[in-house]
Amino acid sequence: MQTSLRSWLSHPRRMSWAAARDYLMIAAGCLLQALAIRLFLVPANLVNGGIAGIAQLINHYTGWPIGLMIFIGNVPLFLMGWRFLGGPRFALRTAFAVMAVSVFTDGLYFFLPKDGLTSDLVLNTLYGGVISGIGFGLVYLGRGTSGGSDILARILNHWKGISLSQSYLITDSLVMFAGGLVFSWENALYAIVMLYISGLTAEVTTEGSNVVRTAMIVTTRPQEIADLILHDMERGVTCLSGKGGFTGQARDVLYVVISRSEVNQLKTLVREADPKAFLVIGQAHEAIGEGFKKSNS
């Protein structure tokens, strides 16, 4: 491990501006996570996920620093992440993130109000989830992890394709159960909602609002519909050749990618050109190319 890490560090082009930007993003994400812990989660007895949640429970009984417990608890998970999430690159970024979260969490203790900003459990749940989710998302954009169940969630996402929100729910179930035993089941239920909000916010932060709609149009008037889409909507159209499963007859199929706001316009154009057309509208997470997101962004 030491040899591969040394050779990776010695490469003259590794520490570029892109790498510096990634580390700044990771640091900002870790700061937001620490703010969420100190301002909303700890004051409201809302157990965070994974190692951070376990650290909260230990702190409740012993008073030991939460940040220090986060750091110690991440050592075995760090070794797992080295194997599954990219070796040296993962190691540097994750070690930096774990240290940043630990330092920020313990350091902010001396500067922030001990009772948080509000005693309202709902507000603490919402703001804690959103702020920590943005923090997780920024760390992901910096190609790092924050350790703890974050590592396990990334492994599940990378290995099995499980979404981040589902991964958090899977990896944090036992911690939520322990939080219910220590604090209250009401707090545990709110903590589960907080984690779900955090996972969704992390996904939005990493993927952006790039959700688009895809449409498959089976029609006997392909050229007429294609012309309307090209000229009225200024969207590209792909013409495919299909075959009816029941009749065995050839069918023309049009494939088009549009924004969410253009769905009704597409329906109207298709209905006017061919009332008997078969239209299926689906959802895609991202579109890269002409008319959508640039390939180099």
Q: What is the pLDDT of residues 146-193, one digit of tens each?
A: 777 767 776 677 666 666 667 666 777 788 888 889 898 999 999 989
φ, ψ dihedrals at 33, nearest 5°: -60, -45
Cα distance from N-terminal residue to C-terminal residue, the chain: 33
Q: What pLDDT, in 10s, does the model give residues 5-59?
A: 455 444 545 457 777 888 999 999 999 999 999 999 999 999 987 888 889 999 9
Say what the pLDDT of residue 8 is: 44
Give percent of the chain above pLDDT 90. 33
Say what the pLDDT of residue 134 is: 94
Say what the pLDDT of residue 212 is: 81
Average pLDDT along the chain = 82
Say what the pLDDT of residue 126 is: 96
Say what the pLDDT of residue 14 is: 47
Confidence of residue 86 (pLDDT cuts 50, 70, 90): low
Specify the range with the lowest mean pLDDT, choosing from 105-114, 259-268, 274-283. Answer: 259-268
**185 contacts: CB under 8 Å, gap ≥ 6:** none
Say what the pLDDT of residue 1 is: 47
* Helix extents (H) in 161-279: 164-171, 173-182, 185-207, 222-228, 263-273
Angle between helices 164-171 and 185-207 (to 10 degrees): 150
Q: What pLDDT, in 10s, does the model give residues 109-149?
A: 999 998 999 999 999 999 999 999 999 899 888 877 777 77
Which residues belong to CATH 3.30.70.120 in the chain?
212-284
The continuous run of DSSP H or E covering 283 comes out as: strand 278-284
Higher local confidence (pLDDT), 210 or 138: 138
At the topology level, CATH places domain 212-284 in: Alpha-Beta Plaits (3.30.70)
Question: Looking at the DSSP assignment, which residues form a beta bridge with residue 255?
Answer: 216, 238
Higher local confidence (pLDDT), 8 or 263: 263
- Give the Cα separation of 68 and 157 in Å (integer): 27
